[in-house]
Structure 1
Amino acid sequence: MIKLAVIGFGSRISAVIAGFRHMNNTVRVMGIMDPDEKGATERLHDRDKEDVRFYKSLDKMIREVKPDALVIGTQCNLHSKFAIQAAKYDLPLYLEKPVAIDMKSARALEKAFEKSKCEVVVSFPLRVSPIAIKTKELIDSNELDPQHIMAYNYVPYGRGYWEHFYRDYTISGGLFLQKATHDLDYITFLMGKKITRISAMGTFNLFKGKKRAGLTCAKCKEVESCLESPLNRRMGDYGGGHDHKCFFSKDLNDPETANEDSSSCLMQFEDGSHGTYNQVFYSLRDTGMRGSRISSYKGTIEFNWYKNKIHLMKHFDSFKADYSPQGKDAGHFGGDHALSWDFVNLIQGISKSRTPIETGIQSAYNCLAARESMHSGKLVNVRQVGQVK
């Protein structure tokens, strides 16, 4: 039996643990730290409800449960706090992204893991998705040596970042930390190079307004005319048809604490090559796209996760090639499945993590630099893992 101790048992992490159980049906949740005991209990698998115990102290949970591994799935602003505590136990750890939402927390997290034997699987499913793994294989086997990347993410479900806790900047840290942390991670993986400087911009024109703070659709008189109302969403079959906070309220007017409608960054890599990344959160329906076009002297390779296809064009060859993964797609384009496999294998001592804590911290540093640049209008140097000062 694989015994798990979980910190923050929300809907996302309960789905993640279901993935672990799919890989090994002996996985059991034996201890939970979560202030919402009722909600956590409702999300538990039936086999766990009888034996699970709730705790207020991580140390006590570790001593009494004696888990084989830890899982952290709290709200984003608490990831680093509990990961720092977990570092001293030397247990396998599954850590949700972003690993930190500010520089102080990110640096404290790096320090906590400097001498820790705690091995971590950071929740970066794009890096380990079949499309990304095959793209990296093609880049390396064809000796492409990437010199430029144009990456993009047109998010058809982006409204969720204004409906739920993500709109609270003190919890989410903004959309570079929430969304781009995935993409800047896979970008460095495919390029095989560190990002050293970033210049970023954001647009804050759409989701703001004059409505009172705290207004929800259920209390609004404009549900028939507002395109974001549950009524119109159900009629138009876009987005969720549930009550939610207003997208056009006063509390969204300050760019320093609001989510951007879209944002972009220009990245320079350690060898002087560069690239761009764009994320757009008001896309809908079939406009969703996520992928990259990577250019080198010898060839160009591009992919789009939504189309599930890789296109390789060698500049000095008469032929081009397309690649598509076989089998059924899964969460995060197959990446969730791969992460579950990685974590269960890590617990059993079969293999090492492909998304260790260093990847999570470096992605946080990349995104913090982008966020700083977006607000300051300046080119920002990216802090590197292992940097002394």
Structure 2
Amino acid sequence: MELGVIGYGSRIRNMIRKLQELHPDCKVTTIVDIRNEFIRENYSELEHVRFYETVEDMLERERPDGLLIGTRCSLHTTMALKVLSTGIPLFLEKPVATTMEDALRLKSGWEQAKSDVVVSFPMRMSRLALLAKEIVDSGKLGTIEHVQATNNTPYGGVYFHNWYRDEKETGGLFLQKATHDFDYINFIVDQEPVSVCAMTSKQVFKGNKPAGLKCADCEEKYTCEESTIHLTGPKKDTWLYCCFAEDTGNEDSGSAIVRYASGMHMNYSQNFIVRRQAGTRGARFVGYKGTLELNFFTSQVKVYMHHTPRVETYDVETGSDHFGGDTELLNNFYNIMKGQARSISTLDHGLLSALMCLKAKQSAETGTFQAIAWE
């Protein structure tokens, strides 16, 4: 299986490494990246790869079995649109769009598409979410009438210290984090979201330090709780900037309430302030008969029955690849390339989640309820 890569970023590089562990017959043969020279010089595993300056040049000369897009977020839509008409299977990183304009362009392109697309939503395919869906679908809890979801992110510094701090690239943190949570919740409840109201705050990661200030150049680098000068590994070269500088973008907390077509609603809250053991991520799915609690940090699913004195606890072996979700997505992508499967994490799912996030952002900016609709 020959792989073409558009944007050889760290996430896609790790996914390709995992794909090759699962399926050793996969090899990267072509790359398009603005850092072609850097990649040639620093990644020995790509010794025989052919490099192109543009996607158009690559597609004119190459016909890989699959393409993977790992550019920065703001380019996901543009690059995907170059691929969809080719019929080549596509693995697309999330978010699939960072603006409403891009989302509408991508939706239009998808309606004419020939390529099957796997969107990088590993949480929907995680062992925890699959177990939760199995229990919900069994009727054990009754119909789901309320969802309470939380994402307290202990590694939130990534959104303020490196390129993620640029809101033009990220589209805001609903699109960076909630896009996963909205998707796995949609997957489990299997209901249509129809409206959203939301609020965001920026209370901590703001300040009057000079724009572009790096931690290494700050006079408080040895006393600041957020200083990155002692980091090692990949973070050392990317977590460079002061998160209290005047050019630090992104909200540091946000909440949304989503109404579904049945009348059921979901409330979701995320923040990027907590550290260490204060981190948690998961949701409670409440029916009349029982409540299911999914906790990604403890790798547990619990079922609390409402009318019998019983609590069921499931300890799930999740692995380090997004709780088993990356493996499911990559196996699916491989089988699509072989002509033996269709996507289990489609561009329809990616577009719906992006639309929910964009409408939540619009709601927070305007103080209004927003219909989750393309009109």
TM bracket, shorter-chain basis: over 0.9
State the Cα distance separating 1:38 from its structure 2 match: 3.0
What does residue 40 of structure 1 align with? Answer: 39
- Equivalent pairs counted in the alignment come to 372
Question: 182, 185, 188: which is aligned to 1:187?
Answer: 185
State the Cα distance separating 1:116 from its structure 2 match: 1.5
Question: 233, 246, 251: which is aligned to 1:250?
Answer: 246
| Partner Cα separation in structure 1 for residue 118 and residue 179 of structure 2 | 15
What does residue 28 of structure 2 align with? Answer: 29
Question: 344, 351, 360: which is aligned to 1:361?
Answer: 351
What does residue 104 of structure 2 align with? Answer: 107
What does residue 348 of structure 1 align with? Answer: 338
What TM-score does the superposition give when structure 2 sets the normalisation length?
0.95
Deviations 1:97-122 (Å, cap 9, x if unpaired)? 00000111101101101132210000
What does residue 56 of structure 1 align with? Answer: 53
Matched, 1:286 2:269: no
Deviations 1:63-117 (Å, cap 9, x if unpaired)? 3221011111100000000111111101110000000001111011011011322
Deviates more, 1:243-252 or 1:174-183: 243-252
CA RMSD of aligned residues (A): 1.8
Distance 1:38 1:220, change over 3 A: same
Matched, 1:155 2:146: no
Unaligned runs of 5+ in 1: 253-257
Q: Given that residues 330 and 336 in structure 1 are in contact (C-alpha distance below 8 angstroms), is that contact kept between their aligned partners in structure 2? A: no
Distance 1:359 1:118, change over 3 A: same
| Partner Cα separation in structure 2 for residue 39 and residue 306 of structure 1 | 36
Deviates more, 1:218-227 or 1:150-159: 218-227
Q: Given that residues 14 and 43 in structure 1 are in contact (C-alpha distance below 8 angstroms), is that contact kept between their aligned partners in structure 2? A: no
Question: 89, 94, 105: which is aligned to 2:86?
Answer: 89
Matched, 1:277 2:268: yes
Deviations 1:15-63 (Å, cap 9, x if unpaired)? 01111111210111111110101333356462x422x111123233123
State the Cα distance separating 1:351 from its structure 2 match: 2.0
Unaligned runs of 5+ in 2: none
The equivalences for 1:373-388 within 5 A come to 373-383=363-373
Q: Secondary structure at the match of 2:292?
A: strand
What does residue 327 of structure 2 align with? Answer: 337
What does residue 310 of structure 1 align with? Answer: 301
Deviates more, 1:136-145 or 1:173-182: 136-145
Q: Given that residues 30 and 58 in structure 2 are in contact (C-alpha distance below 8 angstroms), is that contact kept between their aligned partners in structure 1? A: yes
Deviations 1:247-288 (Å, cap 9, x if unpaired)? 111223xxxxx3111111111111110011111101111111
Query: What amino acid does structure 2 have at the position aligned with 1:207?
Result: F
Q: Given that residues 85 and 112 in structure 2 are in contact (C-alpha distance below 8 angstroms), is that contact kept between their aligned partners in structure 1? A: no
Query: What amino acid does structure 2 have at the position aligned with 1:250?
Result: E
Deviates more, 1:136-145 or 1:4-13: 136-145
Deviations 1:197-253 (Å, cap 9, x if unpaired)? 11111111111111111111121111222111135x66xx9x96666211111223x
Matched, 1:214 2:215: no
| Partner Cα separation in structure 2 for residue 45 and residue 219 of structure 1 | 33
